[in-house]
């Protein structure tokens, strides 16, 4: 079996339409009963549920024979993760990445879609409905920014900055530990850290050169990372699991690991070294 990749413009069109009909009309308009917690600190809204249902329907129609693994669908059917170990191509969907921001009425939040087949992400798209821009990639064919008019711009390899001048997405407590470790060892450490509370936007910003690295620790969920890790690799960056040194790819089992991502390959070694010293 060979995989015929769907037209990227069609995928972006679906994502934009779903955002326009299911996500943005509810933004800052959610009633109290339309926000709930799946577990403490993990929100889901009516927009998450409605947009995933729409994405599930349209993406499956776009690629007959494909399956859909969605964040909200996984909550009701954890066995759906096993589709990543099967033969059929799988759409991996995060209908509203950054739900906590969305529920509070603040950007950023994104729609994330990846197409997975035979052990690897083959294509990925991240759409920010507030900026009305998309960053996308196809394995082996590069990454692109697509603006609201549909104009594509190929994203090139990023020129590395000196490590100390870079900015990254790392939690404040770990960042403080990194700084203490660097000071004690007499080595460079970046000083600009932030969290967007929206993984998709952070991957977009790495691809666009606005953010240089990120550390994601905990359960590595496919809907958070499949598209973004592919996009970063397609601009010459790296996305690797610290515990194994393997390039990140989603799989049929959720694992609690640490994922390090850099927008360029040269920045990976100093980041990994400092983080390993920090522990």
pLDDT digits (tens, 9 = 90+) for 95-144: 999 999 999 999 999 999 999 999 999 999 999 999 999 999 999 999 99
pLDDT digits (tens, 9 = 90+) for 254-278: 999 999 999 999 999 999 999 999 9
- What are the sequence ranges of the domains in the chain? 8-155, 163-278
Place of tokens 């197409």: 115
Residue 7: helix, strand or coil by DSSP? coil
Give the closest residue to 94 by CA, choosing from 121, 126, 58: 126
Write down the pLDDT at residue 1: 66
CATH 3.30.540.10 fits 8-155, yes or no: yes
The contacts of residue 228 (CB under 8 Å, 6+ apart) are 112, 124, 126, 199, 200, 202, 203, 204, 206, 239, 261
In this prediction, what percent of the chain has a pLDDT beyond 70?
100
Quote helix, strand, coil % in the chain, to nearest 5. Answer: 40, 30, 30
pLDDT digits (tens, 9 = 90+) for 196-250: 999 999 999 999 999 999 999 999 999 999 999 999 999 999 999 999 999 999 9
Pick the CATH number of 163-278 from 3.40.190.80, 2.30.30.40, 3.90.1560.10, 1.25.40.10: 3.40.190.80
pLDDT digits (tens, 9 = 90+) for 139-197: 999 999 999 999 999 999 998 899 999 999 999 999 999 999 999 999 999 989 999 99
pTM: predicted TM-score of the whole model, two decimal places: 0.97
Q: Give the bridge partners for 113, in sequence order.
A: 93, 125
């Amino acid at each position: 079996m060979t995989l015929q990749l769907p037209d990227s413009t069609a995928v972006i069109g679906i994502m934009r339409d779903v955002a326009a009909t299911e996500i943005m009309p509810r933004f800052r308009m959610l009633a109290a009963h339309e926000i709930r917690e799946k577990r403490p600190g993990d929100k889901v809204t009516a927009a998450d549920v409605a947009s995933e249902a729409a994405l599930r329907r349209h993406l499956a129609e776009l690629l007959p024979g494909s399956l859909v693994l969605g964040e909200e669908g996984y909550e009701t059917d954890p066995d759906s993760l096993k589709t990543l170990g099967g033969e059929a191509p799988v759409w991996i969907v995060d209908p509203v990445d950054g739900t906590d921001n969305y529920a509070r009425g603040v950007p950023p939040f994104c729609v994330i879609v990846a197409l997975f087949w035979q052990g690897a992400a083959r294509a990925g798209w991240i759409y920010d409905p507030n900026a009305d821009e998309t960053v996308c990639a196809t394995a082996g064919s590069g990454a692109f920014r697509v603006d609201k008019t549909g104009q594509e711009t190929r994203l090139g390899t990023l020129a590395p900055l000196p490590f100390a001048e870079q900015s990254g997405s790392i939690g404040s407590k770990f960042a403080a530990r990194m700084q203490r470790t660097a000071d004690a060892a007499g080595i460079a450490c970046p000083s600009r850290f932030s969290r967007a509370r929206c993984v998709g936007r952070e991957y977009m910003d790495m691809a666009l050169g606005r953010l240089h690295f990120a550390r994601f620790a905990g359960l590595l969920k496919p809907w958070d990372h499949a598209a973004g890790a592919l996009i970063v690799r397609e601009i010459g960056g790296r996305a690797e699991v610290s515990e194994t040194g393997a390039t990140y790819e989603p799989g049929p089992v959720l694992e609690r690991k640490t994922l390090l991502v850099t927008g360029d390959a040269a920045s990976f070694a100093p980041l990994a070294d400092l983080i390993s010293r920090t522990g």
